[in-house]
Amino acid sequence: MTTEPLFRTDAYLDETTATVVAHTPEGGLVLDRSIFYPTGGGQPGDSGWIAWPGAPKLSIATAVKGDEGAVVLVPADPLPLPPIGTEVTQTLDWARRYGHMRVHTALHLLSVVIPLPVTGGQIGAEKGRLDFDMPEPPEDVAAVEAAVNALIERDLPVTEDWITDAELEANPGLVKTMSVKPPMGQGRVRLIRIGQGAEQVDLQPCGGTHVARTGEIGRVSLGKIEKKGRQNRRVSLVLEP
């Protein structure tokens, strides 16, 4: 029961039709194709709505990964689901999703400016954070913030590539995260590239959604750097209005 991941081929697609292929015992809904990103890699599942003829619009609270590549949509309320075989219209809460895209790409740039192993992270619609294996905090946080914003202002293209599992194993330096390993076992792994050619600043495995150019992020500000354990430090980042 594999769901076609439309969010991966076009992160800007915010509404389309699909067919219901299954209901889960927990009350979830599986479509044959999905614009809803399922929770994973520190990025929350998308929210939005499902509509079909003769029924009130169904609010979707989040999306999660199911078995065998399925994306399960989780309704906000225990209301009747569209029958299997029904064609529905799926619509994203676009403002929330676009916030996730901007924050996620900004965190990739933060990992460029702070080139240390990443031990954890979380993405929100307005802010996010990365935890680093960082024995000592940066001496000049304002300089780190300025460096991230300088990369954003370069309006670099954000693109994807694919490599085989074997190619990733031969290039372990591509993996920045210590706690979350890239999904392998499917034969290939998705890479997110920021910049092209001599202008490339980052290349790392990632399954999440991103903006098309760094300029879409807008300015960001960094919060205080928190100590989380003996060598872990948390760096928070906020989208400015």
Which domains occur in the chain, in start order?
4-92 (2.40.30.130), 97-239 (3.30.980.10)
- pTM, entire model: 0.93
Q: Which of 119-128, 184-193, 208-217 shows the lowest mean pLDDT across its residues?
A: 184-193
- DSSP symbol at 20: E
Greatest alpha-carbon pair distance for the chain in Å reads: 61
Q: What is the pLDDT of residue 224?
A: 86
Q: Which of 3-7, 63-67, 171-175 shows the lowest mean pLDDT across its residues?
A: 171-175
Q: What is the pLDDT of residue 131?
A: 95
Is a pLDDT exceeding 70 seen at residue 184? Answer: no
Q: What is the pLDDT of residue 190?
A: 86
pLDDT more than 90, % of the chain: 79
Which parts of 102-230 are beta strand (E)?
118-123, 127-133, 158-164, 188-194, 202-205, 220-222, 226-227
Q: Which residues, 6+ apart, have CB-to-CB distance to 38 below 8 Å?
A: 45, 63, 64, 65, 71, 72
- Nearest partner of 141 among 237, 32, 15, judged by Cα: 237
Q: What is the pLDDT of residue 189?
A: 83
Going by pLDDT thresholds of 50, 70 and 90, the confidence category of residue 171 is confident
